[in-house]
Amino acid sequence: VVLLETPGAVMTPWRFSTAAIANLFYGGERTGPAWAAVLFGDVAPSGKLPVTFPATEASIVQPGWGGHVVYKEGLFTSYRSPESVPAFPFGHGLSFADFD
- Rg over alpha carbons for the chain, rounded to the nearest Å, is 16
Residue of higher predicted confidence among 4 and 58: 4
pLDDT at residue 24 is higher than 90:
no
Domain spans, the chain? 2-88
> Quick check: 40 and 33 in contact, CB under 8 A?
no
Cβ-proximal residues to 73 (8 Å cutoff; 6+ apart), any chain? 61, 81
Quick check: helix, strand or coil at residue 34?
Answer: helix
d(CA 90, CA 17): 22
The H-assigned helical ranges of the chain are 31-39
The pLDDT value recorded for residue 68 is 81
d(CA 77, CA 67): 20
CA angle 79, 84, 78 (to 5 degrees): 30
Question: pLDDT grade, residue 97 (50/70/90)?
Answer: low
Max mean pLDDT among 14-23, 44-53, 67-76, 91-100 falls in: 14-23
Mean pLDDT throughout 4-15?
A: 92
d(CA 12, CA 62): 17
